[in-house]
Chains A and B, each alone.
Chain A
Amino acid sequence: MGSVGAKDVPVLMTEDGRRIDGRRADELRPLRIQAGALRQADGSAFVEWGANKVMAAVYGPREVHPRHLQENNKAIVQCKYNMAAFSVDERKRPGLDRRSQEISKVIAEAFESVIFVEEYPRTSIDIYIEVLQANAGTRCAGVVAASVALADAGIPMVDLLPAVAVGKVAGHVVLDLKKEEDNFGEADLPMALVPQSGRLVLLQMEGHMTRTELSKALDLGVGGCRKIYEEMKRALRERYAPTGTASAMEVAA
């Protein structure tokens, strides 16, 4: 958390329970999802979530590169989460840093938990996430975008994967942190839910939380994920409803 050397801490929670942008503790930022936003990719999606702008593309199942990663009994899931140099206030040095590599790893593992990988042996399903504009919660926005992109690509999955970060600001457990809340808050807990099973396939946490707060945060996050899930399905229906024949619809249903 950004507490060391932090200055000018803004008022993160007013007395009547309003957050820095006027939201209640359990409110999401405005979320807009567009399925099929790119031409070349097998599947794609664009997510605008608060001040985040995130694009995801899916290629595959296709040949594995590098070849030695190939598995004979299943597809491998590879993910590259990347932040554009201009996506944050101070220019970010381009390329893969350790943070991006860790996020890519946990996202790939989350999706491998829901994709029917055994259907496509000796192939790779490649997920690319580009963060164009960042305002906290980019890995969750990336998971939401990638999940819709996978459905758009017609990859069979157990379910879509809604994701959201819960956190603690000024002693309150709140849903969907924005940048100031992430920077000056006391905890951040991103998660991704499989709605059908009620289980989490992505879960990270940093900060300070009592067991009671953590338990509340998990419940708040699950509730948030279920709302995001509806928006994800709506985006897919919007793309495929006119003809209603696309295979992705079955996945989204």
Chain B
Amino acid sequence: MSDEVTAEIVTTHILDLARGGRRVDGRGPDDYRPITVEPGFVTTADGSALARIGDTAVVCGIKLEPGKPFPDTPNAGVLTTNAELVPLSSPTFEPGPPHPRAIEVSRVVDRAIRAAETIDLTKLCVTPAEKCWTCFVDMHVIDHSGNIIDTASLAALAALSHATLPSKRFGIGDADTPLAVQHYPVECTFTRLGDTIVVDPTFDEERAGQGRLTVATDEEGRVVAMQKGLVGAFSPDDVKSVVDRAVAHGERIRALAREG
């Protein structure tokens, strides 16, 4: 996109370093930036978390409201995921209708949550075909220094893990109960820098890179979602090794999401 510029000298420097397995911020190819999760960041939400990976920050808020099941899934609740790349997070984001890159973030996070069956949607059904819980997962990217997908996905998982069904408020039950989370998908994103594939790319590394690959794995080490994005290519062997690395990182990041 023409609205994002990384100086050629920066790109060249990133690629030169990568040849020796090094990175601008001193990390190795398989190192994440520091990760922190703060569950319950927003008290007006039914579940929330502020996740940070390096200087990238995403706030996720969960809202649970009564709604109507979709006609083709009368026995299940509804899950809606949305990511906002708000203008305060980067000089390159402008107000307006959702940019395709925001849509991609929402859909990639949504895909992992849905495919992993993170929440048992049938438990969100109140009266078949008539009444169910609608679970809104809203993610606000507030500081964009690269790797929005992993940060947003971590914020969403942490928020869901600490969410409560507000049954009392809506007269659906006598007591509020925790939202039952049954699986914990974690997304790990990689970028190709020449022949080196690095995890958790910074903003400049994403711009300098030749293709991005996200792999979501669950607690049993299964792959639940993938997305290749941006211009570039990966061989099947690249994909297989990236999957192994994603499983390893997933374990550590999953623990952070669950405990906070």
- Write the residues of chain A forming the contact surface with B, with a CB cutoff of 8 angstroms: 1, 4-5, 68-71, 76, 98-99, 101-102, 104-106, 109, 112-113, 189, 194, 197-211, 214-215, 218-219, 222
Contact = CB atoms under 8 A, between A and B. Distances in A.
A199 B239 CA distance: 10
Contacts of B247: 211
B244 A211 contact: yes
Interface string B220-248: 01111111111111111011100110010
Interface string B85-124: 0000000000000101101101100010011000001100
Contacts of B151: none
A105 B232 contact: no
B106 A113 contact: no
Contacts of B230: 109
Interface string B1-45: 110000000000000000000000000000000000000000000
B103 A69 contact: no
Nearest to B215: A205
5 interchain residue pairs of minimum CB distance:
A205-B226, A5-B73, A199-B233, A203-B228, A218-B236
Given A5-B75, A200-B239, 16 more contacts: A4-B121, A99-B107, A102-B100, A102-B104, A105-B104, A109-B231, A199-B238, A200-B234, A203-B227, A205-B223, A209-B224, A210-B221, A211-B222, A214-B240, A218-B239, A218-B240
B139 to A, nearest CB: 14
Interface of B is mostly: mixed
A80 to B, nearest CB: 11
A104 B100 CA distance: 9
Contacts of A106: 104, 227-229
Contacts of A105: 100-101, 103-104, 229
A147 to B, nearest CB: 15
A205 B225 contact: yes
Interface of B: 1-2, 72-76, 98, 100-101, 103-104, 106-107, 111, 114-115, 121-122, 211, 213, 218, 221-236, 238-240, 243-244, 247
B226 to A, nearest CB: 4
Contact of A207 (B76, B115, B221, B227): B115
A5 B239 contact: no
A106 B213 CA distance: 12
Contacts of A218: 236, 239-240
B2 A207 contact: no
B231 A113 contact: yes
A71 B238 CA distance: 30
A209 B228 contact: no
Contact of B225 (A71, A102, A112, A206): A206
Contact of A98 (B72, B107, B238, B244): B107
24 contacts: A4-B75, A4-B76, A5-B76, A98-B103, A98-B107, A104-B100, A109-B231, A189-B226, A198-B235, A199-B235, A200-B228, A203-B234, A207-B224, A208-B218, A208-B223, A209-B223, A209-B224, A210-B221, A211-B244, A211-B247, A214-B239, A214-B240, A214-B243, A215-B236
A204 B227 contact: yes
B122 A197 contact: no
B240 A215 contact: yes
Nearest to A194: B233
A215 to B, nearest CB: 5
